[in-house]
Copies of this chain bind each other. A is one copy, B any other.
Amino acid sequence: MQTENFHPGLSIDCVIFGFHENDLKVLLLKLKKDDRWALPGGFVEKDKDVDSEAVRVLKKRTGLDHIFLKQFHLFGDVDRIEPSHSDTMVKKGVIPPELKGWFDQRFVTVGYYALVEYSRVKAPTPDLTSERCDWRPLSDLPPMMLDHAQILKKAHQTLKKELNDQPIGLNLLPEHFTMPELQALYETVLEKSLDRRNFRRKMLSYDILIQTDLQRKGGAHKAPMLYKFDKEKYNKAIVSGLQSGW
């Protein structure tokens, strides 16, 4: 790691959401020699845009490109650092001593959240200070380092709020999906249940879905129709918003 090329005191943390088995999952890193977990993050190269560095971090951990990624907050409290942590990391051999100075800085971190398709993330890759990278359910999070639990919470809140004027699903669901699957995604994000018929009506009224003539076979019941997103209309909706208010 060539710390001299990094913007000092600035980091990026990504909250990477995936959806699997009707559960919102977050991609987390298990720290080496520490019981806690961390958000995948990184530093910002001096001659790169912060936003594109976030894309780089995301790609490094998930292997994915062209993903919905959005900056949502800067976390800049002084007490979000743990002065003894770099010491501990050096002592445990997690980081080489020459990096101690870098990790001793006071950092502010920019939070990004990403929506990715769970199944497309093959083998999430850990970083220097972590031993592995795993999907963890949002509903049952492990202990997290520093203020990462807070960052995660804020990401979820932001996502929930933005659901009001942005569609969700592309990047989070496979290409073809059923209406109940899409509904389950909304219910999971919103943490509340919705009426099937009303959900369908509202979602169809957004005019961003294309009904295919395929069906999801295999359940002991009526086979549901498969839909896909009309990507052009979907992206238009992302830009211009869905319903406004005023």
Contact = CB atoms under 8 A, between A and B. Distances in A.
Interface string A25-54: 000000000000000000010111111000
Contacts of A246: 163-164, 186, 190, 194
Nearest to A190: B246
A100 interface: no
A50 B76 contact: yes
B47 A76 contact: no
A108 interface: yes
Given A7-B106, A10-B9, A108-B10, A244 B164 contact: yes
A99 interface: no
Interface string A148-187: 0000000000000101110000000000000000000010
Given A47-B78, A47-B106, 5 more contacts: A7-B9, A9-B9, A48-B78, A163-B246, A164-B245
